[in-house]
Amino acid sequence: MTTHPTLTDGLLAPEPLERADTIPSAWYTDAFFHAFDQHAVFASTWQYAGAASRLTTPGDYLTATVGRSSAIVVQQQSGTPQAFYNVCKHRGGPLAMDACGSSRMLQCKYHGWTYRLDGSLRGVPRFNRTELFDKRDFGLTPLETSDWEGLLFVRAEGGGPALSSAMKGIAERIHPMRLTDMRFYQRITYDIACNWKVYVDNFLEGYHLPLVHPELCDAIDYSGYVTETAAHYSLQHSPMLGASAYGNAQSAGGNAWYYFVFPNFMMNILPGRMQTNIVLPLAPDRCRVLFDYYYPAEEMRDDPDGLAVRAGADHDFSHRVQLEDIEICEFVQRGLESPAYDRGRFSAETEAGVHHFQDLLKAAYRSRLSRHGQ
């Protein structure tokens, strides 16, 4: 791999929050980093795929993104999910082109090769005259697959922490709320004209709330807004004031928990509601953010009409906040591309989460460079 002039020991070194500069603008804008992030960051970290409860029967599947690749998570005959690259071994076609579905076997959408649910190659049409071909050499490539509190994650390269250690402490902290009681409700997709790191930085501080989100600011007790950091994630939390903001009477007086798990996964948890966000790089200056909404299984079963009203209000409010974030993030991307900017500084009072993310990013870059040489 070639390197980049900004990957110096000085710029990669961790610095204390009070003295640190922000990362160089090239890390958000240069095409080199779009490719480098795939190897240094996304290949070796757990990537959210979806709700485990969506896979109930053998053959149920979800598709997900791992770096630049598509993955398919398939419920096995044994009842556990297993992920594979969503890539046929004939000429690279897809086994699934949709977000989810169910099938007794996996069939490539290009020429129709079929695979068993365990990834072994089963049927190969019109191959009678092909010589020296052994189906056992053409099974699907598996990915590491793990479940945490009913959420499925996949990883391309091992070596990093187990999913349970990356998430250590979260389930205990949000008790008595239990994520395993929540069920997937809907997915909303946003395409944004900014680098994925701009979106993550923006998520990680409440500094911008008064100017960018005045309505959200009124819904929470901003004076009680706190940021904490752990090894692989950070947490921002704040007491909720009103009941109306998320259409959620249960939220009044409760806590809003905003978790970020390195490198690109967020959980926005309120009483009776969870929303996950996964940030997927599309290009140096474009990303896609998937919002998955979860609500209590009991409410989904017992009061679907009431839940539809509540979920509608929740979505409307989140959508307004998201449009405010998109507008500012797209401006920031253009700012980072301008010759007027390279590196800034952090508010030590409010930007500990951004600094923590950027430190983990530098560590991931250092680790990649030390393993593969500069």
Q: What share of the chain is helix, strand, coil (3-state, %, to 5)?
A: 35, 30, 40
What would the 3-class secondary structure string for the chain be? CCCCCCCCHHHHCCCCCCCCECCCCHHHHCHHHHHHHHHHHHCCCCEEEEEHHHCCCCCEEEEEEECCEEEEEEECCCCCEEEEECCCCCCCCCCCCCCEEECCCEECCCCCCEECCCCCEEECCCCCCCCCCCHHHHCCCEEEEEEECCEEEEECCCCCCCHHHHCCCHHHHHCCCCHHHEEEEEEEEEEECCCHHHHHHHHCCCCCHHHHCHHHHHHECHHHCEEEECCCEEEEEEEECCCCCCCCHHHCCCEEEEEEECCCEEEEEECCEEEEEEEEEEECCEEEEEEEEEEEHHHHHHCHHHHHHHHHHHHHHHHHHHHHHHHHHHHHHHHHHCCCCCCCECCCCCCHHHHHHHHHHHHHHHHHHHHHCC
Closer residue to ligand FES in complex, CB, 91/320: 91
* From candidates 27, 36, 42, 113, binder to ligand FES by CB under 6 A: 113
Least gap, CB of 118 to ligand FES (angstroms): 18
Least gap, CB of 95 to ligand FES (angstroms): 8
Least gap, CB of 143 to ligand FES (angstroms): 18
Closer residue to Fe ion in complex, CB, 30/325: 325
| Among ligand FES, Fe ion, none, residue 68 binds (CB under 5-8 Å by kind) | none
In this structure, what token pair is assigned to residue 204? 């990680």
Least gap, CB of 110 to Fe ion (angstroms): 41
CA distance 169 to 259: 11
Under the binding rule (CB under 5 A), the answer on residue 205 touching Fe ion is no
Sign, Cα dihedral of 154, 282, 356, 160: positive
| Among Fe ion, ligand FES, none, residue 173 binds (CB under 5-8 Å by kind) | none
* From candidates 68, 104, 111, 320, binder to ligand FES by CB under 6 A: 111
Least gap, CB of 200 to ligand FES (angstroms): 35
| Among ligand FES, Fe ion, none, residue 111 binds (CB under 5-8 Å by kind) | ligand FES
How far, in Å, are 33, 160, 306, 367, 369 from residue 373 at the CA level? 16, 19, 57, 10, 5
* From candidates 88, 256, 321, 360, binder to ligand FES by CB under 6 A: 88
Least gap, CB of 38 to ligand FES (angstroms): 23
* From candidates 17, 60, 100, 112, binder to ligand FES by CB under 6 A: 112
Applying CB under 6 A, which part among 9-17, 66-74, 86-94, 315-323 lies near ligand FES? 86-94
Least gap, CB of 224 to ligand FES (angstroms): 55
* From candidates 59, 93, 142, 160, binder to ligand FES by CB under 6 A: 93
Least gap, CB of 110 to ligand FES (angstroms): 4
Applying CB under 6 A, which part among 77-85, 111-119, 278-286, 335-343 lies near ligand FES? 111-119
Least gap, CB of 106 to ligand FES (angstroms): 10
Closer residue to Fe ion in complex, CB, 85/207: 207
Task: Give strand pairing partners of 74.
Answer: 61, 82
Q: By CB under 6 A, how many residues form the interface with ligand FES?
A: 10
Q: What letter represents residue 55's amino acid?
A: L
Closer residue to ligand FES in complex, CB, 89/315: 89
* From candidates 30, 205, 325, 359, binder to Fe ion by CB under 5 A: 325
Under the binding rule (CB under 6 A), the answer on residue 91 touching ligand FES is yes
SS3 145: strand
Applying CB under 5 A, which part among 71-79, 318-326, 332-340, 366-374 lies near Fe ion? 318-326
| Among Fe ion, ligand FES, none, residue 88 binds (CB under 5-8 Å by kind) | ligand FES
- Chain positions contacting Fe ion, by CB under 5 A: 325
- Chain positions contacting ligand FES, by CB under 6 A: 88, 90-93, 108, 110-113
